[in-house]
C-alpha cells in the first residue's frame, strides 16, 4: 500500500464519519441550554435536583445548570461571556443588578418570551412585591427565582429565661428586651450584625416604616432619582445600631466567621437575616429557635417589607430552539407544583399566590410556621411608593458607599448624621453617573 | 557595549533563531495575559461604559480627574503606602533575624529552614482566613489573649487594628521569600573575613553587624523593591480574606480597590484608570530597580 492510497483511504474514512454524524436525525437530539447560577452548598444541590426534574419531565430540552460562584462572579462571568458573544441562555442575577441588566440591551423580557411562545402564565397571580420589583412598565422583565425577605430570628430559651414570651414588635420595646438579656447575663450578645445588614436594617427598615429612601418613588419613576434617607429616621436607626454595638448588645462577626454561626451556636440571642437562612439554620442550630417579623418604629403602622434574592434573565443572541428551551424551563419554574417543591426545599418565598395557597392547603405552614413569616410580611398592607422596592442604577456601588460610611459611624469617626449625609452625597454622584450613561433610556 | 560580557553571551547564541524560538512561549503568554489586557485597560480608562459594552461614552480624562479628586482614592493611596512601608520593614527585619539565627545554628538547621519556608507553600487566601480567625474578636484565641491583657482589640471596628492584622498576615506570608535571599547572602559572606574577625576577638553579633550586614546591603535593596511590588500587586487575596478592605476603607489598598470597583461595583472606567496608574507605578519601580539597585548587586562573591 503506497502513501497516496493510504491518505485517500483516511480522507474517505474521515469524511464518511463526518457525513454520518451530520446525517444523524437532528430531531432526536434534545436542545441543550446553559443556566449559570450562584447557588452553592445545600442550595446548589436543590438547583441540580430542580434541573434534573425538569429534564426528566420531557424529552425535547436539556438544561445544564452551572454554578459560577457567588452573585458577583455570575454577573461578571455573564458580562465577559456576552462580550465574547457566548452568553448562556439563562443567568441568575441578584436583585441589585436589576437596573444594570434592564438597560444593558443584552437581555430579553421574560414576559415577551413566554407570551410569544404561547405559554399561558398568569402574570397577575405573581406575588405583588416580587413582581413589582422585577417589572418595568407593567411587564415582568426577568423570572423571579429565589426571592426572600429579612425576618427576625431569635433564641427562644434566651427570651424565656429573661421573662419574655417572644421579641417585642417595636424597635423601642425590643431594645429594652435585648438590654435586659444582656444585663441578666443570659447571653454574651443580644444580636449579631448580618453581612447584608444594609438590606434588612436600612432598606427594609425604610419600607416597613413607610419612609422615603430616594425621590421618584425610590427610583421607579426615573433615573433622576436622589437618595434622601439622610433626612429620615434611618439616621437614628444607624445611631441605634452603633449604640448597641458600643454597649456590647450587638456583635460584629467579622471575617473568618459567619454571623449565622454566632446565632446558631447560642452565643447571640437574635439575628436579623433573610428567610433563606432557613436551610442553614435548620441544619446547624443546636438551640431552640424561632422567628418573627422585623420590628418597626413605635407608633407606626408597619408596611410590607421588600424582597432580595435573585431572578433569571434570558440573554439575547440565542438560537430560536434555545429560546424555546429557555421558555419551556421558565414555564416549568412558574408552575405551582414546582414552586411548592422549591419553597419547601429551600425556605424562599412562593412567587405566585397559587403556589402559596397550595402550600397552605397542604398544611405546610402549620408545620413550619416560621417559613410563612416572610410572605406574610411581604404582603402586609397596601404597598406605598416607599415600600414597593428599590430601582437604582449602579445599586451595588451606592450600597458599598453606604456600607463604608456606616463603618465610619461604628468606628466612631463620624456621627450618624454626617455619615449618612456623606453616603447620600456619594450615592447621588454614582446615580448621576448612571443617569449620564443611560440618558433617555428608562 | 562592554566587550567581555557581550562576547560571552554571543558565544552561546551565535544563531539568532534558537533564542527567539526559546523566547516565543514566554512572549506568547505575555502577549495574551499581559499586553493585550493592558492595552484594553488603557483604552477602557477613557470611557464611561455600561458593563455589557452596549452603551459607551468617550469621557477623555474624566476617569482620572475623578480619581484624583476622590477622597476614597486618596485614602486608598495612603493605606497602600502605610501598608507597604510597614510590611517591608517588618518582613525584612524578621527575615534578617531568622537568617542570622539559622546561619548560627548547627544542629537541626534543615528542620528550622523547612519550618520557616512553610508559609510560602500556603495559599494566600488560606493564610488570610487563618489570621482573620485567630484574631477574630468574637472567637479568636489570640484576640482573647489580647483582651485578657487589657487591649481592646477589634479589627472589625478599628481601622488601625485591621491594618495591623493585614500587615501581620502579609508579612508572615512573605517572610520566607526574604529569608531565602538573606540566608543565601549570609552563606556567601567569605569565611576568611569572618575568621579573621573572630581571631581579632569579634563576637558573632559584632561580626554580623560589621561584616555580614554591609555585604547584604545589595540583597536588601533588591528585597525592598520586591516587597514593594508584593505590597502593591500581590496582596489582593490576603486583604480579601482578612478585612475585605474595611472597616471604612482602612485597609482598602489600591489593588483591592481596583478589584472592588471593577468586579463588584462594575465601574469599569474607573477601575481601568486605576490599573493604568498602578501600571505606571510598576514601570517606575522596575526602572528604579534596574537603574539603581541592579548596578550595585555584585553577583561574583
For residue A3, pLDDT over 50 is answered with no
Distances A185 to A160, A182, A288, B61, B221 between C-alpha atoms, Å:
13, 5, 18, 59, 56
pLDDT score for A15: 55
Q: What is the chain A residue with the closest CA to B165?
A: A255
CA distance A128 to A146: 15
CA distance A64 to A97: 23
Four-point Cα dihedral A295, A301, A304, A308, nearest 10 = -40
What does residue A31 show for φ and ψ, rounded to 5 degrees?
-75, 130
> Which residues in chain B have their CB less than 8 angstroms from residue A410's CB?
157, 247-248
User: What is the pLDDT of chain B when averaged over all its residues?
Assistant: 86
The 10s digit of each residue's pLDDT in B237-273 is: 999 999 988 798 899 999 999 999 998 999 899 999 9
Let me know: does A227 contact A431? Beta carbons within 8 Å.
yes
pLDDT score for B2: 43
Give one DSSP letter per residue of A162-183, joined into a string: TT-SS--SBHHHHHHHHHHHHH
Partner-chain contact A413 B53, CB within 8 Å: no
Let me know: does A276 contact A342? Beta carbons within 8 Å.
no
pLDDT-derived band at A274, boundaries 50, 70, 90: very high
Chain A interface with B: residues with Cβ < 8 Å: 72, 75-76, 79, 82-83, 100, 103-106, 245, 251-257, 262, 267, 394, 396-397, 400, 403-405, 407-408, 410-413, 433, 436-438, 441
Say what the pTM is: 0.86
CA distance A148 to B262: 27
Q: What is the chain A residue with the closest CA to B63?
A: A433
- In a mutational test of the A interface, the residue from B132, B265, B271 whose CB has the highest number of chain A CBs within 10 Å is B265
Question: Which among A82, A252, A267 has CB closest to B156?
Answer: A252
Q: Is B58 exposed, middle or buried (0-12, 13-18, 19+ CB in 10 A)?
A: exposed
Question: Which among A106, A396, A411 has CB closest to B247?
Answer: A411
Least confident of A408-412, A420-424, B12-16, B68-72: B12-16
pLDDT score for B113: 82
For residue A10, pLDDT over 60 is answered with no
Distance from CA of B253 to the nearest CA of A (A): 14
Let me know: does A88 contact A77? Beta carbons within 8 Å.
no
Let me know: does B78 contact B160? Beta carbons within 8 Å.
no
pLDDT score for B283: 86
Partner-chain contact A437 B49, CB within 8 Å: yes
From first CA to last CA, the distance across chain A in angstroms is: 72
User: What is the pLDDT of chain A when averaged over all its residues?
Assistant: 90
pLDDT score for B39: 86
Residues 6+ apart with CB under 8 A from A13: none
pLDDT score for B292: 72
Share of chain B above pLDDT 90, in %: 34
pLDDT score for B294: 63
The 10s digit of each residue's pLDDT in A89-135 is: 999 999 999 999 999 989 999 999 999 999 988 889 998 889 889 99
Partner-chain contact B52 A104, CB within 8 Å: yes
What value does the mean pLDDT take over residues A130-142?
A: 91
Output B182 or A21, whichever has higher pLDDT.
Answer: B182
Partner-chain contact A436 B246, CB within 8 Å: no
- The number of residues making up chain A comes to 442
Q: What is the chain A residue with the closest CA to B50?
A: A104
> Which residues in chain B have their CB less than 8 angstroms from residue A83's CB?
52-53
Partner-chain contact B159 A411, CB within 8 Å: yes
Helix axes B268-288, B62-69, angle to 10 degrees: 80
Q: Give SS3 for B233.
A: helix
Say how far residue B197 (Cα) sits from the centre of its chain. Answer: 36
pLDDT score for B9: 55
CA distance A372 to A380: 12
Helix axes B141-148, B124-134, angle to 10 degrees: 40
ipTM over 0.90: no
CA distance A52 to B5: 68
pLDDT score for B12: 62
For residue B3, pLDDT over 50 is answered with no
Partner-chain contact B248 A255, CB within 8 Å: no
Q: Which residue has cell 569579634? A: B202
Q: What is the chain B residue with the closest CA to A79?
A: B52
Let me know: does A170 contact A209? Beta carbons within 8 Å.
no
The 10s digit of each residue's pLDDT in B186-202 is: 888 888 888 888 888 88
The 10s digit of each residue's pLDDT in B65-115 is: 999 998 899 999 999 999 999 999 999 999 999 988 887 777 777 888 888
The 10s digit of each residue's pLDDT in B5-17 is: 444 555 566 778 8
Chain B interface with A: residues with Cβ < 8 Å: 48-55, 57, 72, 129, 131-133, 136-140, 155-159, 241-244, 246-250, 260, 263-267
Residues 6+ apart with CB under 8 A from A320: none
Distance from CA of B85 to the nearest CA of A (A): 24
CA distance B190 to A253: 54
Q: ω into residue A438 within 30 of 0, thus cis? A: no
Amino acid at each position: 500500500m503506497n502513501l497516496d492510497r493510504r491518505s485517500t483511504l483516511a480522507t474517505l474514512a474521515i469524511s464518511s464519519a463526518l457525513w454520518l454524524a451530520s446525517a444523524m436525525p437532528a430531531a432526536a437530539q434534545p436542545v441543550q441550554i446553559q443556566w449559570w447560577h450562584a447557588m452553592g452548598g445545600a442550595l446548589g444541590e436543590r438547583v441540580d435536583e430542580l434541573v434534573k426534574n425538569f429534564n426528566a419531565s420531557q424529552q425535547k430540552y436539556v438544561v445544564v445548570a452551572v454554578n459560577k460562584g457567588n452573585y458577583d462572579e455570575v454577573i461578571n462571568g455573564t458580562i465577559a461571556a456576552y462580550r465574547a458573544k457566548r452568553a448562556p441562555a439563562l443567568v441568575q442575577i441578584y436583585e441589585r443588578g436589576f437596573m444594570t441588566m434592564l438597560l444593558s440591551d443584552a437581555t430579553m423580557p421574560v414576559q415577551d418570551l413566554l407570551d410569544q411562545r404561547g405559554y399561558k402564565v398568569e402574570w397577575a397571580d405573581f406575588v405583588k412585591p416580587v413582581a413589582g420589583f422585577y417589572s418595568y412598565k407593567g411587564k415582568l422583565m426577568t423570572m423571579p427565582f429565589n426571592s426572600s425577605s429579612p425576618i427576625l430570628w431569635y433564641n427562644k430559651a434566651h427570651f424565656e429565661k429573661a421573662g419574655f414570651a417572644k421579641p417585642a414588635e417595636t424597635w423601642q420595646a425590643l431594645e429594652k428586651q435585648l438590654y435586659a438579656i444582656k444585663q441578666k447575663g443570659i447571653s454574651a450578645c443580644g444580636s449579631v450584625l448580618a453581612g447584608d445588614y444594609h438590606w434588612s436594617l436600612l432598606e427594609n427598615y425604610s419600607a416597613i416604616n413607610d419612609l422615603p429612601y430616594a425621590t421618584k418613588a425610590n427610583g421607579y419613576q426615573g433615573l433622576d432619582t436622589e437618595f434622601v434617607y439622610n433626612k429620615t429616621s434611618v439616621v437614628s436607626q444607624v445611631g441605634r445600631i452603633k449604640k448597641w454595638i458600643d454597649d456590647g448588645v450587638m456583635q460584629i462577626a467579622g471575617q473568618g466567621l459567619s454571623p449565622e454561626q454566632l446565632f446558631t451556636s447560642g452565643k447571640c440571642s437574635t439575628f436579623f437575616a433573610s428567610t433563606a437562612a432557613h436551610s442553614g439554620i435548620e441544619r446547624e442550630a443546636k438551640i431552640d429557635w424561632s422567628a418573627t417579623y422585623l420590628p418597626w418604629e413605635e407608633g407606626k403602622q408597619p408596611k410590607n417589607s421588600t424582597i432580595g434574592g435573585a431572578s433569571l434573565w434570558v440573554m439575547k443572541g440565542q438560537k430560536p430552539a434555545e429560546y424555546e428551551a429557555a421558555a419551556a424551563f421558565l414555564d416549568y419554574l412558574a408552575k405551582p407544583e414546582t414552586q411548592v417543591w422549591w419553597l419547601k426545599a429551600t425556605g424562599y418565598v412562593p412567587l405566585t399566590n397559587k403556589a402559596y395557597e397550595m402550600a397552605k392547603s397542604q398544611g405546610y405552614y402549620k408545620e413550619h410556621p416560621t417559613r410563612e413569616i416572610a410572605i406574610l410580611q411581604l404582603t402586609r398592607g397596601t404597598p406605598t411608593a416607599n415600600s414597593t422596592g428599590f430601582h437604582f442604577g449602579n445599586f451595588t456601588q451606592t450600597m458599598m458607599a453606604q456600607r463604608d460610611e456606616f463603618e465610619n459611624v461604628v468606628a466612631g469617626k463620624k456621627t450618624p448624621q454626617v455619615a449618612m449625609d456623606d453616603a447620600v452625597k456619594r450615592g447621588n454622584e454614582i446615580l448621576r453617573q448612571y443617569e449620564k450613561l443611560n440618558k433617555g433610556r428608562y | 557595549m562592554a566587550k567581555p560580557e557581550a562576547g560571552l553571551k554571543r558565544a552561546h547564541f551565535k544563531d539568532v533563531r534558537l533564542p527567539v524560538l526559546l523566547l516565543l512561549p514566554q512572549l506568547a503568554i505575555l502577549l495574551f495575559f499581559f499586553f493585550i489586557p493592558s492595552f484594553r485597560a488603557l483604552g477602557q480608562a477613557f470611557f464611561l461604559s455600561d458593563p455589557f459594552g452596549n452603551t459607551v461614552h468617550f469621557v477623555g480624562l474624566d476617569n482620572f480627574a475623578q480619581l484624583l479628586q476622590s477622597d476614597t482614592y486618596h485614602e486608598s493611596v495612603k493605606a497602600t503606602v502605610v501598608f507597604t512601608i510597614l510590611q517591608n520593614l517588618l518582613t525584612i527585619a524578621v527575615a534578617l533575624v531568622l537568617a542570622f539565627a539559622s546561619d548560627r545554628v548547627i544542629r537541626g538547621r534543615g528542620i528550622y529552614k523547612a519550618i520557616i519556608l512553610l508559609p510560602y507553600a500556603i495559599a494566600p487566601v488560606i493564610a488570610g482566613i487563618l489570621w482573620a480567625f485567630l484574631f477574630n474578636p468574637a472567637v479568636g484565641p489570640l484576640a482573647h489573649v489580647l483582651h485578657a491583657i487589657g487591649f481592646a482589640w477589634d479589627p472589625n471596628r478599628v481601622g488601625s487594628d485591621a491594618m495591623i492584622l493585614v500587615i501581620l498576615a502579609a508579612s508572615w506570608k512573605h517572610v520566607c521569600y526574604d529569608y531565602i535571599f538573606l540566608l543565601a547572602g549570609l552563606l556567601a559572606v567569605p569565611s576568611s573575613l569572618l575568621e579573621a574577625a573572630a581571631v581579632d576577638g569579634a563576637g558573632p553579633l559584632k561580626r554580623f553587624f560589621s561584616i555580614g550586614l554591609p555585604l547584604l546591603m545589595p540583597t536588601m535593596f533588591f528585597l525592598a523593591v520586591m516587597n514593594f511590588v508584593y505590597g502593591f500587586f500581590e496582596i489582593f487575596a490576603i486583604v480579601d480574606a482578612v478585612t475585605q478592605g474595611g472597616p471604612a476603607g482602612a485597609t482598602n489598598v489600591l489593588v483591592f480597590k481596583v478589584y472592588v470597583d471593577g468586579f463588584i461595583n462594575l465601574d469599569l472606567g474607573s477601575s481601568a484608570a486605576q490599573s493604568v496608574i498602578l501600571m505606571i507605578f510598576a514601570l517606575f519601580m522596575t526602572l528604579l530597580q534596574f537603574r539603581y539597585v541592579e548596578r550595585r548587586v555584585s553577583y561574583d562573591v
